[in-house]
């Protein structure tokens, strides 16, 4: 399924709304390095691939902007591990 995912730089997040539920990936950006802190999908819409879609979108956006990624969120780190074509974006392992 495809979702209408938007970058919301004012809130430092990527987001989509599914069944009136706001789903987000929160981040901070510092000098071309994006730290991805949290992916949140509310329980009523879990299990639909939304977290993966938001993560892929955020990583594709980061690639386009030539940003390095610090996957502080365990979900994002695991997603990158499962998708080797995104591993070159990683700036460092999260602490």
Note whether residue 85 is domain-resident. Answer: yes
Note whether 67 and 88 are within 8 A (CB).
no
Note whether residue 33 is domain-resident. Answer: yes
List average pLDDT for each run of 10 residues in the chain, which is 95 residues long.
95 98 98 97 98 98 98 97 97 64
Residue-level pLDDT at 95: 53
pTM score, whole prediction? 0.93
CATH number for the domain spanning 24: value is 3.40.630.30
Note whether 68 and 90 are within 8 A (CB).
yes
Note whether residue 67 is domain-resident. Answer: yes
Note whether residue 14 is domain-resident. Answer: yes
Rg (CA), the chain: 12
Note whether residue 81 is domain-resident. Answer: yes
Note whether residue 95 is domain-resident. Answer: no
Cα–Cα dist 3/17, whole Å: 8
Note whether residue 17 is domain-resident. Answer: yes
Burial 53-65 (b: 16+ CB within 10 A, else e): bbbebbbeebeee
Domain that holds residue 49: 6-89
Q: Considering its fold, how many domains does the chain have in total?
A: 1
Residue-level pLDDT at 4: 97
């Amino acid at each position: 399924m495809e979702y209408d995912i938007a970058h919301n730089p004012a809130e430092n997040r990527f987001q989509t709304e599914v069944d009136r539920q706001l789903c987000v990936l929160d981040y901070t950006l510092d000098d071309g390095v994006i730290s991805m802190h949290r992916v949140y999908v509310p329980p009523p819409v879990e299990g639909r691939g939304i977290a993966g879609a938001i993560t892929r979108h955020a990583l594709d956006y980061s690639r386009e902007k030539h940003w390095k990624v610090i996957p502080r969120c365990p979900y994002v780190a695991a997603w990158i591990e499962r998708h080797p074509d995104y591993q070159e974006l990683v700036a460092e392992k999260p602490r």
